[in-house]
Structure 1
Amino acid sequence: MRSCSVDQLGSGEMAIALCIMIIFGGTLVVANDPYQYEDWTVSYIDASPLGVMQKVIAINDQFPGPQLETTTNYNLVIRVHNELDEPLLITWDGIQQRKNAWQDGVAGTNCPIQPGRSWTYNFKMKDQIGSYYYYPSLLFQKAAGGFGSIRVNPRRNIPCPFAPPAADFVVLIGDWYKTDHKTMRSVLDEGRLLGSPDGVLINGRGPLESSFTVEQGKTYRLRISNVGLTQTLNFRIQGHRLLLVETEGSYVAQTYYSTLDVHVGQSYSVLVTMDQSIPADFHIVASSRFTWPTLYGLAVLHYSTSHRGLVSRDLPPAPNDVQSSYEQARSIRMNLTAGAARPNPQGSYHYGQIKVNKTYVFANSALKVKGKQRFMVNGVSSLRPSTPLKLADYLKIDGVFHVGSIPDHPIDWATPSVASSVVAGDFRAFVEIVFQNPENALQSWHINGYAFFVVGMGPGRWSRESQRGYNLVDAVARTTTQVYGNAWTTVLVELDNPGLWNIRSQELQRQWLGQELYLRVVNPAGNDVKMQEEPPPHNLLLCGRALIHDAG
């Protein structure tokens, strides 16, 4: 049996105590699922990622923030101290909070951590492995940093579909603006759009400022996440092939790629063998796709036995067409023989044989409301109330939102509307969600609380006939998917996770201006008590109308 990781237990975990001892009636008991404790201080630091001094958001004085390394089924206790000058929430992109939307860290579910205050997240990595990332979800703060990698190792008794690598590298790529994030959100609030980003960062640094030292003949794992705001990035390494092995918690059929399109919010793991016969330095490139001008992020792959020198000026080329990106997306398939978080193979869940109970079609659009730019889903631009929707739902506060405020299919609107967008989902229904994109620009969509099967994508408008081309055997399961311009993408998902879950554009300005909604999934009382949603945490924060409700 082999492990996927260089070291199954991270150094931070070893220092923290991987299992806790609890005393019950004088008896010392070892908890089945270990607890892991983290203590994070979020603050501004001065940095110049693209040569201009800026205030960026750091965690424990690190930009990007520290890697959150943990293991399947561990209980995480993360105390967050907010030393910013504005409210803060952190969301865990791709981590499926089982029955626990209270820890989701988005505006619709949580009250923010006020400046100078602290709050503790407490959640479990339930049946998950893989590569993800976290970031601040409020007030456009992601544009200032505060993001970091999440690595969830499998348990020791779960075999891995590849040999352990020599080392495991974090590679955070993303577009970056030199403009202060507060100025950027003011521009958007005035109804104007942001222009092109100023560059692309790799691990928070500008061109050729990051390097990775490797040894000839060894194989390394790179966990690549696009933590940017708007741009799809093509990732490649000069003279080396990328063996794709995992995406957002799913082992995939191992395939070599010369380049890999990573859309906003997506995460991939690749294995790279250092097979060049002459030790040298090589370009690592992350360049923008489908936009002009092309932006480049550059880092250096340094063979340890080479004499450091200038990297060749010739960059490895990227594809310049949309069709190759389509073909690459369709080629990413589930590894049906490997187990991920559980001993059984991933392919043992035959999703293609389950009857679909309901179809949702969510179509994005860009329109103006009262002369200001907004983005819509099915004609509704989402509004964030001062009282989180989840809190209002639990406390039964009327007037904050109503289920069905957004239709589950596109309809003809005389005028676009603005509302707190919530759609209903039946508990344990198996549903089809179609993301329809009538715009030219590529879209990137994410669903909190769930992993979904990406079963189909194609040009034009989706119809029932489109279902005939679905992959109902080995579609990859993930949490973020792209929708190409004037095209559609379909995902299948079982709504077995009760809660109020965010469905959003991963492009920050589109989300900020309304391209998001919430899916409300409720387990009826008495229906499978084990699947009832978790009660609110003891440290639940109150805000908005919940303060008045609590006082009453």
Structure 2
Amino acid sequence: MRHVFVEVVVLISLVILELSYAFAPIVSYQWVVSYSQRFILGGNKQVIVINDMFPGPMLNATANDVIIVNIFNNLHEPFLMTWNGLQLRKNSWQDGVRGTNCPILPGTNWTYRFQVKDQIGSYFYFPSLLLQKAAGGYGAIRIYTPELVPVPFPKPDEEYDILIGDWFYADHTVMRASLDTGHSLPKPDGILFNGRGPEETFFAFEPGKTYRLRISNVGLKTCLNFRIQDHDMLLVETEGTYVQKRVYSSLDIHVGQSYSVLVTAKTDPVGIYRSYYIYATARFTDFYLGGRALIRYPNSPLDPVGPVPLAPASWDYSSSVEQALSIRMDLNVGAARSNPQGSYHYGRINVTRTIILHNDVMLSSGKLRYTINGVSFVYPDTPLKLVDHFQLNDTIIPDMFPVYPSNKTPSLGTSVVDIHYKDFVHIVFQNPLFELESYHIDGYNFFVVGYGFGAWSESKRAGYNLVDAVSRSTIQVYPYSWAAILIAMDNQGMWNVRSQKAEQWYLGQELYMRVKGEGQEDPSNIPVRDENPIPGNVIRCGKVL
């Protein structure tokens, strides 16, 4: 009888879910993922294309739309797509990472279906398995504000998506094999703008018009400083949050981060115009690495002239931290809803739990691995989401994640942190290494309340921004430093917390948060209103074949 009851609950949940989708607009895509030889940075490389495009097609929707993406995998490897920054409300079944989904096998297809509930902004998608991101397969995501919700700036005349990132000549399978044998990734070979090398990408400007540039760092490891020759940028949005409008001459964009800026095109009474460079150069490295694109005005010469905008000093952390602290939420406007963003007073909510995430390195059988709190993540054969759903308790042991500091020897393990639904959690990312870090939490935005040098302590709370901290999904952590966030755990499911740097992620610097309500260990107690039920098209693998 118990199994019959569970099936009835799941059936009712599916019916309610379909009814909620029925009243929302649907945006559908058919994507074919395949290989293609492309000439990039002066050499041929096998890249991953989507519908024969690199970067892939834009995913374009409006807040509250239902998005359907049917992906055909024509690669020779398993494949998954993840949606960097989309919150997938109570639907981690669609997250597209190895802990939530079985892979789409070669020669097969699978359909993602999710709603961008109460969310707007600039994001991107990318392959999450087998270091495939090093071969491409990424593309831009735009989620527009609903028609009845005012946007806090005049409508731009045009919008451009700019995907910047480091690039390697080596094939992703060669790079993966190098990591598997215990070697680090080499220095990148260049910087791409929208999948192209220096000066191969241009953006057309018309005099006096305003352009919205949606910029994402889709690279593997390198923080990039973005700037435009002789043009200022008005920052208006980052990862779904409208920010206080400030003018910047350059922006540090860390791996996995996205920004929207407004740029006003020049006017000349005589009508004489020239072209301008857009630069992206590496930050916090001991080598120079840069890429260029072009802005072209009507009848302007192809080659820009004049002074080149200077990059910040490579190791000048103070200016980068100062810039990060200057990016603050605009409390007086709405995003996906008409009420102000600042109507949610996060600084007045009692913290129910503090979690310190301390990244480091270890050797396993003489090979390099990365850790969080002394654990280097390894995946079981069955995705954790399926393990949890089918109660395979021999695979997940609740709250086995060690509290920092720990006296345990660093080891391989499967870290899952149990967190109660509706808890308000304080997370501190502690980075003891001479290397900048970048962290992402799937399914959530969080408030970035503080940065600091050295080791975090309780006394640091006194300096937190508890009023207008920016809300985003990816945060940088400077070398020998800490960063603190506050996060409302209001999105049930199994959610990935990872380094956005491909080497660190691939070699174990991640964990999963299992956000569950009371009594959810017993499926018969799950109310209909909680997380979406298992999809009817779920791919099975491992112990649930």
Give the alignment's TM-score, normalised by structure 1. Answer: 0.92
Check if 1:191 corresponds to 2:182. yes
Q: CA deviation at 1:279?
A: 1.3
**2:4 paired residue number:** none
Separation in structure 1 between the aligned mates of residue 195 and residue 380 of structure 2, nearest angstrom = 32
Question: What is the correspondence of 1:77-226 to structure 2 with a 5 Å cutoff?
Answer: 77-226=68-217
Q: CA deviation at 1:403?
A: 2.2
**2:506 paired residue number:** 512
**1:42 paired residue number:** 33
Q: CA deviation at 1:80?
A: 0.3
Aligned residues: 518
Question: What is the correspondence of 1:458-537 to structure 2 with a 5 Å cutoff?
Answer: 458-525=452-519, 529=527, 531-537=529-535
Question: What is the correspondence of 1:209-288 to structure 2 with a 5 Å cutoff?
Answer: 209-275=200-266, 277=268, 278-288=272-282
**Contact 1:405 / 1:419 at 8 angstroms: preserved in 2?**
no
Separation in structure 2 between the aligned mates of residue 316 and residue 364 of structure 1, nearest angstrom = 35
**1:324 paired residue number:** 319
Separation in structure 1 between the aligned mates of residue 174 and residue 21 of structure 2, nearest angstrom = 51
Closer, same or farther: CA 313–421 of 1 in aligned 2, 3 Å: farther
Q: 1:333 aligns with which of 328, 332, 357?
A: 328
Residues 436-490 of structure 1, C-alpha deviations (whole Å, 9 max, x = no match): 0001101000000111000001101111100000000000100000000000000
Residues 412-449 of structure 1, C-alpha deviations (whole Å, 9 max, x = no match): 33x31101111111110001000000011010000001
Separation in structure 2 between the aligned mates of residue 212 and residue 446 of structure 1, nearest angstrom = 30
Q: CA deviation at 1:36?
A: 1.2
Q: Which moved more, 1:48-57 or 1:144-153?
A: 48-57
Amino acid paired to 1:492? L
Q: CA deviation at 1:530?
A: 5.9
**1:444 paired residue number:** 438
Q: CA deviation at 1:400?
A: 2.2
Amino acid paired to 1:184? M
Check if 1:315 corresponds to 2:313. no
**1:10 paired residue number:** none
Separation in structure 2 between the aligned mates of residue 486 and residue 312 of structure 1, nearest angstrom = 40
SS at match of 2:49: strand
Separation in structure 2 between the aligned mates of residue 241 and residue 481 of structure 1, nearest angstrom = 24
Separation in structure 2 between the aligned mates of residue 101 and residue 335 of structure 1, nearest angstrom = 29
Separation in structure 2 between the aligned mates of residue 244 and residue 367 of structure 1, nearest angstrom = 39
**2:11 paired residue number:** none
Amino acid paired to 1:312? V
**1:426 paired residue number:** 420
Separation in structure 1 between the aligned mates of residue 306 and residue 101 of structure 2, nearest angstrom = 48
**1:15 paired residue number:** none
SS at match of 1:342: coil
Amino acid paired to 2:405? P
Separation in structure 2 between the aligned mates of residue 491 and residue 412 of structure 1, nearest angstrom = 25
**Contact 1:523 / 1:533 at 8 angstroms: preserved in 2?**
no
Separation in structure 2 between the aligned mates of residue 296 and residue 382 of structure 1, nearest angstrom = 33
Q: 2:371 aligns with which of 360, 370, 376?
A: 376
Which runs of 5 or more residues in structure 2 are unaligned?
A: 1-14
Q: CA deviation at 1:32?
A: 2.6
Q: CA deviation at 1:336?
A: 0.5
**Contact 1:64 / 1:145 at 8 angstroms: preserved in 2?**
yes
**Contact 2:420 / 2:518 at 8 angstroms: preserved in 1?**
no
Q: CA deviation at 1:335?
A: 0.5
Q: 1:347 aligns with which of 328, 339, 342?
A: 342
Q: CA deviation at 1:408?
A: 3.6
Q: CA deviation at 1:528?
A: 9.1
Q: CA deviation at 1:525?
A: 4.0
Separation in structure 1 between the aligned mates of residue 540 and residue 306 of structure 2, nearest angstrom = 55
**Contact 2:359 / 2:430 at 8 angstroms: preserved in 1?**
yes
**Contact 1:407 / 1:423 at 8 angstroms: preserved in 2?**
no
**Contact 2:445 / 2:472 at 8 angstroms: preserved in 1?**
yes
Give the alignment's TM-score, normalised by structure 2. Answer: 0.93
Q: 1:55 aligns with which of 38, 41, 46?
A: 46
Q: CA deviation at 1:33?
A: 1.1
Which consecutive aligned stretches of 4+ in structure 1 deviate over 6 angstroms post-superposition?
none
Amino acid paired to 2:67? L
Separation in structure 2 between the aligned mates of residue 311 and residue 47 of structure 1, nearest angstrom = 27
Q: CA deviation at 1:309?
A: 2.7
Amino acid paired to 1:465? S
Which runs of 5 or more residues in structure 1 are unaligned?
A: 1-23, 548-552
**Contact 2:296 / 2:302 at 8 angstroms: preserved in 1?**
no
Closer, same or farther: CA 226–491 of 1 in aligned 2, 3 Å: same
SS at match of 2:40: coil
Separation in structure 2 between the aligned mates of residue 103 and residue 460 of structure 1, nearest angstrom = 38
**2:542 paired residue number:** 544
Identical-residue share of aligned pairs (%): 52
**Contact 1:362 / 1:410 at 8 angstroms: preserved in 2?**
no
SS at match of 2:485: strand
**Contact 1:422 / 1:519 at 8 angstroms: preserved in 2?**
yes
**2:448 paired residue number:** 454
Closer, same or farther: CA 437–212 of 1 in aligned 2, 3 Å: same
**Contact 2:33 / 2:48 at 8 angstroms: preserved in 1?**
yes
Separation in structure 2 between the aligned mates of residue 473 and residue 192 of structure 1, nearest angstrom = 44
**2:294 paired residue number:** 300
Q: CA deviation at 1:313?
A: 7.5
**2:10 paired residue number:** none
**Contact 1:175 / 1:197 at 8 angstroms: preserved in 2?**
yes
Q: CA deviation at 1:369?
A: 1.5
**Contact 1:130 / 1:246 at 8 angstroms: preserved in 2?**
yes
Closer, same or farther: CA 313–287 of 1 in aligned 2, 3 Å: farther
Amino acid paired to 1:211? F
Q: CA deviation at 1:49?
A: 1.7
**1:13 paired residue number:** none
Separation in structure 2 between the aligned mates of residue 133 and residue 427 of structure 1, nearest angstrom = 27
**Contact 2:21 / 2:66 at 8 angstroms: preserved in 1?**
no
Separation in structure 2 between the aligned mates of residue 464 and residue 103 of structure 1, nearest angstrom = 37
Closer, same or farther: CA 531–428 of 1 in aligned 2, 3 Å: farther
**Contact 1:93 / 1:132 at 8 angstroms: preserved in 2?**
yes
Separation in structure 2 between the aligned mates of residue 276 and residue 183 of structure 1, nearest angstrom = 49
Separation in structure 2 between the aligned mates of residue 400 and residue 471 of structure 1, nearest angstrom = 40
Closer, same or farther: CA 542–282 of 1 in aligned 2, 3 Å: same
Q: CA deviation at 1:386?
A: 1.6
**Contact 1:380 / 1:421 at 8 angstroms: preserved in 2?**
yes
Separation in structure 2 between the aligned mates of residue 524 and residue 538 of structure 1, nearest angstrom = 25
Residues 43-93 of structure 1, C-alpha deviations (whole Å, 9 max, x = no match): 011102211101100000000001101000000111000000000000000
SS at match of 1:524: coil
Amino acid paired to 1:535? P
Q: CA deviation at 1:409?
A: 2.5
